[in-house]
Amino acid sequence: MEWTIKNPILPGFNPDPCMIRVEDTYYIAVSSFEWMPGIRIYTSTDLVNWEYRTDILTDQVNLQGNGINCSIWAPQLSYADGQFHLLYTDVKSSVRPFKDTHNFLISAPSIKGPWSEPIYLNSSGFDPSLFHDENGRKWLSNALWDYRMDTPNKSSGIVIQEYDSEKKALIGNPVKIFDCTELGKTEAPHLYQRGGYYYLVMAEGGTSSGHSVTIARSREVTGPYEVDPHYPMMTSSQNPEAALQCAGHASLVETPEGEWYIAHLMSRPLKGQHAILGRETSLQKVEWDEEGWLRLAHGGVVPAVEVPAPKGFKGPVKERNTDFRDDFDGPELEKNWNSLRMMPDESWCSLKEKPGKLRLYGGESLHSFFRHHLVGIRQTDFSFRAETSVSFAPTSYLQMAGLLLFLNPENYLYAYLTDEDGQTVLRLMEARNGEFQILEPKVILSSSELELAVSGEAETGSFYYRLPGETDWNVLAENFDLTFLSGGFTGNFIALACHDMNQYRGCHADFDFFSYKGNDNRKNLD
């Protein structure tokens, strides 16, 4: 039987994968941007079946105040000297023409820690990558940002600088080792050694439809580097009908049997442009040609949905199950939850105040970049349904709590309870490409407790509610266009939230449970 890897291996918001192998385990680290905990880690022993293992950044970073699509970019994972090494960029601002990008390094003896205090490296660009040379030297490479360039994207190439692990600092001067090809926007450098060459694997063409993988090589780590004469090595840019779009940002791994695979980001846009699930992760089998250049094993440059599994794989392929439920009965939130720019703590997100319930205290508005009291999970299926039960007694229109679909502060749908003229009501608000409105209808409630549900089916979604004692669901809004919940660097989340813009922490909402059921698995809804 010929086994295959079916892409994406990591559905939903899982971009910028960096893959390594340590003994018999493969690891993939992905970007988190403004969502905490930062840098999600997945593991596999066969490249076919993957599971979410842990998150790394918790109390090492302060992301409050960082803008939309900023914060934790492009982690790079490596293993050397008995330690895991993780590099990441903390982007404070990306307001053109500048970028405030601070690069850090942390290390640990195990993927689960304990992780060292962050070592600051530089701020000249983003996508830092630490290369451990066979001769014992270590080198930091990163994309270089040049605000003077008269182009929309000012990524000007790749620079490299030696890193001294004893001094825990960069030494010498940075050297520019690669200028952009005409594809431009060169970033995400990773260095590998093979056959007497240093291979530089890079992303080019931007992160949308032009995204590509370009490879260059040199006999010396500091260059000069020659570009693959048939670049890009992989791209979907000329094939708008391909199932996997925006393919790029790759990393390379060799199996124990000597086969090679790359992990790369991609998206599955509905109707060709709406990537509601965000940027996901896929794998491709690759081979080295006679001239020593990397090629897709199936030929051409377009990534495949199904690729051969490693020769040593004997099965089985585990059925993907994206369902999730939290009854809030434990001492901590289930590990799937994420929050914005800060970790949940007892001051606003409590499982102790009312055992068996999740109590969220009112935070700042949905548009805040600071104290945003929201917890959410990734949407991982085109077809899904999420449900919750909430108890909330607002006394002001400035207080609200409920269930929402959230991409960012400029794009969301929020079914929320609030107070209007002394009555508790259920409303729906929307931010669409930065334009805000409160939608009809307004439902006057006879109870401060009710169940809320949201479902999605490809490009459309619906909200429902049910009062205590009712068996049937009532429609709040149905067949809503969801395509605006796509774009940027992240993906859509289903979230619980509580806000108090009258008095910080002046109110609270209690949630009894949360459930998410994904219905499509590998079904293609395009």
φ, ψ dihedrals at 246, nearest 5° = 55, 35
Amino acid type, 198:
Y
Report the pLDDT value the prediction gives residue 520, as an integer from 0 to 100.
Answer: 66
pLDDT band at 402 (very low <50, low <70, confident <90, very high): very high
Q: Is 346 labeled as catalytic in the residue annotation?
A: no
Q: Which residue has the tokens 């004893």?
A: 166
**Domain map (residue ranges) of the chain:** 16-238, 324-518
Average pLDDT of the residues in 62-91: 97
Count of alpha carbons within 13 angstroms of residue 229, beta-carbon side: 3
Report the pLDDT value the prediction gives residue 261, as an integer from 0 to 100.
Answer: 98
Buried/exposed 209-237: b ≥16 CB within 10 Å, e otherwise: bbbbbbbbbbeebebebebbeebbbbbbb
Contacts of 296 (CB under 8 A, 6+ apart): 233, 234, 284, 285, 286, 287, 302, 303, 304
Report the pLDDT value the prediction gives residue 153, as an integer from 0 to 100.
Answer: 83
Average pLDDT of the residues in 115-130: 98
**Per DSSP, what are the bridge partners of residue 145?**
155
Q: Which one from 16, 34, 387, 459 is the annotated catalytic residue?
A: 16
Q: Is 150 labeled as catalytic in the residue annotation?
A: no
CATH topology of domain 324-518: Jelly Rolls (2.60.120)
Report the pLDDT value the prediction gives residue 525, as an integer from 0 to 100.
Answer: 36
Average pLDDT of the residues in 269-275: 88
Contacts of 384 (CB under 8 A, 6+ apart): 455, 456, 494, 516, 517, 518, 519, 520
Give per-residue pLDDT as tens, 17-66: 999 999 999 999 999 999 999 999 999 999 999 999 999 999 999 999 99
Average pLDDT of the residues in 498-518: 97
Give per-residue pLDDT as tens, 229-240: 999 999 999 999
Q: Is it true that 16-238 and 324-518 share their CATH fold?
A: no
Report the pLDDT value the prediction gives residue 273, as an integer from 0 to 100.
Answer: 86
Amino acid type, 365:
S
Mean pLDDT of the chain: 96
Report the pLDDT value the prediction gives residue 151, as an integer from 0 to 100.
Answer: 85
8 Å CB contact between 81 and 31: no
Amino acid type, 289:
D
Among residues 285, 307, 305, the alpha carbon closest in space to that of 296 is found at 285
- CA 479, 401, 392, 354 torsion: positive or negative? positive
**Per DSSP, what are the bridge partners of residue 104?**
88, 120
Q: Which residue has the tokens 């630490």?
A: 130
Omega within 30 of 0 (cis) for the link into 97 = yes
Secondary structure (3-state) at 6: strand
* 16-238: in CATH 2.115.10.20: yes
Report the pLDDT value the prediction gives residue 524, as an integer from 0 to 100.
Answer: 39
Burial class (CB in 10 A: 0-12, 13-18, 19+), 410: middle
Distances (CA, A) of 62 to 35, 66, 90, 293, 362: 12, 9, 9, 41, 21
Buried/exposed 243-272: b ≥16 CB within 10 Å, e otherwise: bbbbbbbbbbbebeeebbbbbbbbbbbbee
Tokens (6 digits) for 521: 């698995």
Amino acid type, 416:
Y
pLDDT band at 456 (very low <50, low <70, confident <90, very high): very high
For residue 218, pLDDT over 80 is answered with yes
How many other β-carbons are positioned within 10 Å of the β-carbon of residue 39? Answer: 25
Report the pLDDT value the prediction gives residue 19, as an integer from 0 to 100.
Answer: 98
- What is the C-alpha to C-alpha distance for residues 359 and 337, in angstroms, rounded to an integer? 14
Report the pLDDT value the prediction gives residue 526, as an integer from 0 to 100.
Answer: 36
Terminal-to-terminal C-alpha distance of the chain: 29
Among residues 444, 5, 521, the alpha carbon closest in space to that of 262 is found at 5
How many other β-carbons are positioned within 10 Å of the β-carbon of residue 466? Answer: 16
Q: What is the DSSP string of 39-108?
A: EEEEEESSSSS-EEEEEEESSS---TT--TT-EEEEEEEEEETTEEEEEEEEEEE--TT--EEEEEEEEE
Q: What is the DSSP letter of 418?
A: E
How many other β-carbons are positioned within 10 Å of the β-carbon of residue 315? Answer: 11
φ, ψ dihedrals at 180, nearest 5° = -60, 145
Give per-residue pLDDT as tens, 300-343: 999 999 999 999 899 999 998 999 999 999 999 999 999 999 99
Among residues 432, 426, 428, 427, the alpha carbon closest in space to that of 409 is found at 432
Helix (H) or strand (E) segment spanning residue 242 = none
Torsion of Cα atoms, 468 then 470 then 472 then 474, to 10°:
-60
Q: Which one from 46, 90, 187, 387 is the annotated catalytic residue?
A: 187
**Per DSSP, what are the bridge partners of residue 84?**
79, 108
Q: Which residue has the tokens 């605000």?
A: 147
